[in-house]
Structure 1
Amino acid sequence: MSGIGLPAPGLWRSGAAMLARDLRLVWRRRGDAMQPVIFVLLVVTLFPLALGDDPGLLARIAPGVLWIAVLLSGLLTMDMLFRGDHEDGSLEQMLLSPSPLAWLVGLRLAVHWATTALPLIVLTPILGKMMYLPGNLLGPLLVSLLVGTPLLSLVGGVVAALTVGMRRSGMMMGLLALPLYVPILVFGAGSVMLAAQGMPWIGVIGLLAGGLALALVLAPLAAATALRIALT
């Protein structure tokens, strides 16, 4: 019986060590980690300045603006998701680790989501007020972001793994990731727009949730495979 349970503690210990290391790195580079939040605040501040202080207009475009801002802010840090490890040799150590690479990659993507998208979700009520978002749409917007932003991190992680061996891959990262992000954006912002029109929107969230469930299984495996190819 004890032999059957031996692998699990090692898996969780390696995962805890990976999480602790990544969180320490985020804390040391907290200035870089704040870039997505600053970017979204700038976008939300500039839209009223550009379009005028028209509550009706801003309320209509608020879901799309907030979703686009959150989507683009994630790209600011996505390029460095594995690049630092590739440059200092840590990626080779992850590959040689007894723990599955897909497990470690999945934890890295979880940290990325928790440190970039989650703070923005927490700030969404304030951002919505700045864009005159109606109170009845705040719930659908939060639900769509909670389901959609992890999917953005998972898809972006695969693209980051594919481009980790390229020099100056920022432009390539955007070109590859944005077409894959478009359906997530359409369903995420579209669910809020449906709620604004009084139409059923939970079904659209269900489609996002199905994509998230599929990505939770496949994205870490695909990213791990891409990283192995990059190291060969």
Structure 2
Amino acid sequence: MIASIFPLGIGPEATVLRQIAPGIIWVAALLATLLSLEAMFRSDFDDGSLEQLILSPYPLPALVLAKIFAHWLATGLPLILLAPLLGLLFGISGWPLVVLLITLLMGTPALSLVGSVGVALTVGLRQGGLLLALLLLPLYVPILIFSAGAVETAAQGLPADGQLYLLGALLALAATLAPIATSAALCIRMS
């Protein structure tokens, strides 16, 4: 919804819309992730099932990874499914649209993974949403830069391999470290 409002405010000029489209779509992904992150562990914390999750005989990082995957299914996947429509709305087609989909496939899971660490640190706080945004926005900037830059580079007809490789490296790093860091933060927060 956020992305569909921008053409109304900016105007119908196709070149301007095509230029700012990657940034708009990625800001929409960032907002969708940020607004829903606080709920990732909130209900588990409130009803006490988070303690049961920590005491479970199963490895906590695997359980945390499952919760992160469920969060991504609820926030990232719908945006990926809507991305072709949003791309056409902004005049993106062909290879830049494919690059946009690739960046969303790699970047939105990274947003959820990195966000889970911040959520684990702020779970149970009264105004954790504001603190969560302050913690996570600096960590989200590289994902945003590489993703929007890859689409912009592809739109100019240049190879976007460098940005895609760096985005893939960020995803691999987040997928490796975030479940462990989230588990440790949850254990510390609950003790």
Class of the TM-score when normalised by the shorter of the 2 chains: over 0.9
Higher RCO (C-alpha 8 Å, min separation 6) = 2
Structure 1: 4+ residue segments shifted above 3 A: none
Residue in 1 that maps onto 2:58: 99
What's the % identity of the aligned pairs?
A: 51
In the TM superposition, residue 45 of structure 1 has moved relative to its aligned partner by 2.1
Give the TM-score of the pair, scaled to structure 1. Answer: 0.80
Cα pair 1:154 1:219 within 8 Å, conserved? yes
Paired AA for residue 51 in structure 1? I
> 8 Å contact 2:121–2:185 — kept in the other structure?
yes
Which residue does 1:201 correspond to in 2?
160
Match of 1:127, SS? helix
Aligned to 2:20: 61
Displacement, 1:167? 1.1
What is the letter of the counterpart of residue 72 of structure 1? L
Deviations 1:11-46 (A, max 9, x none): xxxxxxxxxxxxxxxxxxxxxxxxxxxxxx2x1221
Could you tell me how far 1:115 is from its partner in structure 2?
1.4
Deviation at 1:210, TM superposition (A): 1.2
AA aligned opposite 1:175: L
Taking the aligned partners of 2:159 and 2:103, their CA distance within structure 1 comes to: 14
SS of residue in 2 equivalent to 1:82: helix
**Does residue 49 in structure 1 map to residue 13 in structure 2?**
no
Deviation at 1:135, TM superposition (A): 3.1
Q: Give 1:83 shift.
A: 1.2
* Aligned 1:210-221 pairs, distance under 5 A: 210-221=169-180
Give the RMSD, CA atoms, in angstroms.
1.0
Preserved contact between residue 44 and residue 130 of structure 1 (Cα < 8 Å) = no
1:212, CA displacement in angstroms?
1.1
Which secondary structure state, in structure 2, belongs to the residue aligned with residue 93 of structure 1?
Answer: helix
Q: Give the Cα separation in 2 of the matches to 1:121 and 1:133.
A: 15
Task: Tell me the SS of whatever aligns to 2:86.
Answer: helix
Equivalent of 1:192 in 151, 156, 173: 151
Q: 2:32 aligned with 1:73, yes or no?
A: yes
Instruction: Tell me if the contact between 1:44 and 1:131 (Cα under 8 Å) persists in the aligned partners.
Output: no
1:54-98: per-residue Cα shift (whole Å, max 9, x none)?
111111111111011111111111011111101100001101100
Deviation at 1:153, TM superposition (A): 0.5
The aligned counterpart of 1:145 is 104
Larger Rg: 1
Q: What's the CA shift string for 1:99-155, capped at 9, x where partnerless?
A: 011110000001111111001101111111222223331101000110111111000
**Are 1:192 and 1:201, in contact at CA under 8 Å, matched by a contact in 2?**
yes
What is the 5 A alignment of 1:1-232? 41=1, 43-232=2-191
